Amino acid sequence: MNKRKIFLGIVFLIAVLFAGLFFLRVNFEQKEKQDAGDQVQILPEEKNVQDENEKKSQLIENQEEKQTQIKQVENNKVPFTSQAPLGDWSDPRNQNGCEEASVAMAMRWIQNKTFSSPNDAQQEIFDIAKFEEKTFGYFVDTDVSDVGKILVDFYDFKNFTISKSFILDDLKKELAKQNIILVPVYGRALKNPNFTQPGPITHMLVIVGWDAKTKEFITNDPGTKRGENYRYDEKVLFDAIWAYPSGKNHPDAPKSIKEKAMLVINRN
């Protein structure tokens, strides 16, 4: 009898042990399922946060892109004149009058005036050339620093900035502020079919706008009678910008353009 009780006791203990192990296993599996369920519930929340952050980032990018959507200066149309308003390209003051014509256009825009006639434009170009001859001793080439002196001393205008370190987008940002820009360029790099070929070495023009769809700068280019609102591919124009020096004689064509310059006319 005692042996039987002992045997039954052992069987009972073994049964209890197996029952305990089974209970622990079931609880462990249930906990794993619960944890997995919890993870499934967390992941969508994390994805929602990620999606929301992406939306915010995209919104910021869209706002920045919208801010750089630059249109032509339409409300304040920049008056145009070629550097030879009467068509006399034999006169040295007209041959070399791109800086003078660019300045004249910019100042008429500032003054809310147009050129009343080709004679009006011609006289202003000659007056600036006379001032240059007296002040600098030359009028052939005028760099942006000398153009700044013309604005200050001839026109009594000081609301402009000169920059010699900038990228293409900086031009767009200035135009977005409704400013206009005078840029010296290596004229032959523009490949304008209206120029007497191969085109001028030194040249200056006025950037009046930018077309976001076509990626073109809109200019008033005094080097041709067809220069009003003349369009250049943005990269072609930017690459052509060249800080050529002032002087009585034209410099040699640059082998490479390393120094740039621009003069921004601020109306406000």
Break the chain into its structural domains and give their ranges.
1-67, 92-265
Give the 3-state secondary structure of residue 215: coil
Q: What is the reported pLDDT for 219?
A: 97
Q: What is the reported pLDDT for 256?
A: 87
- Torsions phi, psi of 139, nearest 5? -140, 5
Nearest to 115 by CA among 77, 158, 72, 74: 77
- What is the share, in percent, of the chain residues with pLDDT greater than 70? 72
The Cβ of residue 120 has, within 10 Å, a number of other Cβ atoms equal to 15
Q: How many residues does the chain have?
A: 268
Q: What is the reported pLDDT for 58?
A: 62
Q: What is the reported pLDDT for 106?
A: 98
Q: What is the reported pLDDT for 28?
A: 45
Predicted confidence band at 255 (pLDDT cuts at 50, 70, 90)?
Answer: confident
Q: What is the reported pLDDT for 45?
A: 58
Dist. CA 41–CA 39, nearest whole Å: 5
Q: What is the reported pLDDT for 268?
A: 77
**What's the mean pLDDT when you consider all of the chain?**
85
Dist. CA 204–CA 219, nearest whole Å: 11
Q: What is the reported pLDDT for 73?
A: 46
**Measured CA distances, 88 to 54, 79, 188 (Å):** 61, 20, 21
pLDDT greater than 60 at residue 243: yes
pLDDT tens, residue by residue, 5-27 = 566 667 566 765 655 555 555 45
Q: What is the reported pLDDT for 160?
A: 99
The winner for highest mean pLDDT among 28-32, 39-43, 48-52 is 48-52
The Cβ of residue 199 has, within 10 Å, a number of other Cβ atoms equal to 17
CB distance 262 to 162 below 8 Å: yes
pLDDT greater than 80 at residue 38: no
pLDDT tens, residue by residue, 152-197 = 999 999 999 999 999 999 999 999 999 999 999 999 999 999 999 9
Pairing of strands 216-220, 262-265: unpaired
pLDDT tens, residue by residue, 43-60 = 555 555 566 666 555 654
Dist. CA 112–CA 5, nearest whole Å: 118
The terminus-to-terminus CA distance of the chain in angstroms comes to 114
**Structure-model confidence comparison of residues 236 and 249, the more confident one:** 236
State the CATH architecture for 92-265: Alpha-Beta Complex (3.90)
Range of weakest confidence among 34-38, 120-124, 195-199 = 34-38
Q: What is the reported pLDDT for 54?
A: 64
Range of weakest confidence among 77-86, 123-132, 217-226, 246-255 = 246-255
